Amino acid sequence: MTKILLINPYITVAKDDPAQPAPMLSLPYLAAYLEKHGFKVSLLDAAGQGCDRRENIGSKVRYGLPAQEISNCIAAEKPDIVGITAPSTSHAADVHDMARLAKELYPDVKVVCGGAHASSNPGSVLSDKNIDLVIIGEGEETLLDLARRQEKGESLEGTPGTGMMKEGKLHLSAPRPYIENLDSIPFPARHLLPMESFLHRSSEGINYAMRKRFITMISSRGCPGECIYCAVKTVWGRKWRGRSAVNVVDEMEELMKKYDAGEIHFLDDSISVSKDRLSAICDEIILRKLDIKWTTPNGIAIWLMDKPLIKKMKKAGCYRLTFGLESGNKDTLKFIGKKYDYAIAKELIHYANSIGMWTIGTFIIGFPYEKRESIEDTISFAVDSGVDFAVFYIANPFPGTRMYDYYAEAGLLPKDASTIVRGVDTKEFSHSDLIRFQSEGFSRVMRARLRSPWMFLLKVRNFEDLVYMYKLGRQFLRMLLNSRKIEKEGTASLWKK
């Protein structure tokens, strides 16, 4: 029987990079699909299982299990296929480390790489002689096909949905169709992960959850949007597919019973594409009388929302909405591929606040040609929008996105553009400038909110709400003090440019 080992690599980042190991669902989904079809699968989450392990690597820091422990795990499994996830170009070097460790132990093992980075940069990934194939796009059917071919001793060349190097040239096979019925995919194989350890660590660290034991889920795949900065299409395409309401709530109920989960974080790229489906999910939660809290930390499209839906979401346990507002400048908003009415957005935010929902707005600054006036518009809109909190991101040109092409055309990419991690300058500002703008934005929003603290008190409907408000207050005050320190390093002079 073919043995498959799936690896989530450790992550190596700059010492001032806030990135930390994140919850992983892609590999547990693949593992569950392979198990459903009779294959033996092991899962090594080097980042998650070693998230409390920190190692200095020159000017960088590495989170996760050390290389020797990873090698020991690979040796113990004796796999025929090693699958490595590469969700981000930022951590490409870590992916190649995993491939090297596998090939050093077992030169004949088939090393397969998938994820957004592999899908958008197959040639770069396959330039590593330790990687035999890449999976492009959705992985379940393709990895199952590879496992079956390996089992039969057949060549893996030409497997639909893959790419490989042949005589120094990249060869891509025919694309594999997406799975239409997502209900046919089993729930993620969380039993292959040390879930109790994960749940304990997540409750002990800094988080913004209302309840201690929270678990992540995905209820849909893909996004029909055309945002220039998003690399989602490299894996899921632009077609949106959603699981049925019953199937989604079945998983929620399972997580409550099996892991005593009190809260669910939906990591969908666009959970609200179908308002009817989202409404049906709420109806199902209410029908089953589930005592569950849930939220949408990856963001929800405000232009797809309305007051009745927000009200029903609140009744079904949703307590916090994260809106992807992105820019307060109309020209910039058009440039990045989003369109919504600012006045309607403010009205919906005000309504959500009024019924006790917590609201967050996400914003992006630092597009390649963006000027000071546009950034000021975005910060001002964040202040005036009414969201409780605002998160400002700095634009980053990920391969496979149109924004990457814009940076390339502007001559803003480093020589080795395949390994961009962060810190790219724009035509107007250095990355250090943008960091100070970022802190300025957060600080201005928080100072405005602290002038009206009674707004938060209106959200308190019970003791759980009161405890949550206290928790948020402590954490955001710490963040405010930190942003003020960064501001003092030079933001005032920036606005005079």
Would you list the DSSP string of 177-226? PPPS-GGGSPPP-GGGS-HHHHHHHHHHSS---SSSSEEEE--EE-----
Task: Specify the pLDDT at position 496.
Answer: 41
- Phi, psi (degrees; rounded to nearest 5) at 215: -135, 150
Closest CA to 366 of 426, 432, 436, 420: 426
Neighbours of 108 (CB within 10 A): 6
Please check whether residue 47 is in contact with residue 84, taking contact to mean a CB–CB distance below 8 angstroms: no
Please enumerate in sequence order all residues whose Cβ is within 8 A of that of 344, keeping only pairs 6 or more positions apart, or say none: 303
In this predicted model, what pLDDT tens digit does every residue of 348-399 receive, in sequence order?
Answer: 999 999 999 999 999 999 999 999 999 999 999 999 999 999 999 999 888 7
- Amino acid 486: pLDDT: 60
Q: Is the pLDDT of residue 251 over 70?
A: yes
pLDDT value, residue 494: 44
| Helix, strand, or coil (residue 319) | strand
Mean pLDDT of 1-7: 94
The class that CATH gives domain 200-494 is alpha beta
More confident residue, 291 or 60: 291
Q: 97 and 126 in contact (C-beta within 8 Å)?
A: no
CA atoms within 13 A on the CB side of 138: 21
441 pLDDT more than 70 = yes
Place of tokens 């005592």: 291
CATH label, 3-172, candidates 3.40.50.280, 3.20.20.100, 3.90.1150.10, 3.10.50.40: 3.40.50.280
SS3 268: coil
Alpha-carbon distance of 219 to 5, in angstroms, equals: 25
- Res. 421: pLDDT tops 70: no
In sequence order, what E strands does 243-292 have?
Answer: 263-266
Which of the 8 DSSP states describes residue 126? H
CB 383 within 8 A of CB 329: no
Average pLDDT score over residue span 132-159:
96
> Average of pLDDT values for 164-174?
93
Q: Where are the domains of the chain?
A: 3-172, 200-494
Select, from the ranges 205-209, 234-238, 456-460, the one with the highest average predicted confidence (pLDDT).
456-460
pTM: 0.91
CB 115 within 8 A of CB 141: no
Tokens of 394: 């700095």
pLDDT at res. 18: 63
What is the arithmetic mean of pLDDT over 57-81?
Answer: 93
Q: What angle do CA 337, 343, 345 make, to 5 degrees?
A: 60
* pLDDT over 90 (residue 314): yes
Residue 255: pLDDT band with limits 50, 70, 90: very high
Task: Look over the chain and give the mean of its residue pLDDT values, rounded to a whole number.
Answer: 90
Contact 105, 122 (CB under 8 A): no
Reported confidence tier of residue 243, pLDDT bands at 50, 70, 90:
very high
Give the per-residue pLDDT at 328.
97
CA angle (399, 239, 124) in 5-degree steps? 25
Measured distance CA(27)–CA(24) in Å, rounded:
7
pLDDT of residue 52: 79
| CA–CA separation, 482 and 389 (whole Å) | 16
Q: What is the mean pLDDT of residues 306-328?
A: 97
With beta carbons less than 8 A apart as the criterion, state whether 108 and 126 touch: no
Question: What CA–CA distance (Å, rounded) separates 90 from 231?
Answer: 13
pLDDT in tens, 70-99: 999 999 999 999 999 998 887 899 999 999
Rounded mean pLDDT, 93-109: 96
Burial class (CB in 10 A: 0-12, 13-18, 19+), 74: buried
- Distance of alpha carbon 40 from alpha carbon 387, whole angstroms: 48
Q: Which amino acid is at 158?
A: G
DSSP secondary structure code for residue 170 in this structure: E
Spatial separation of the C-alpha atoms in residues 182 and 80, rounded to whole Å = 28
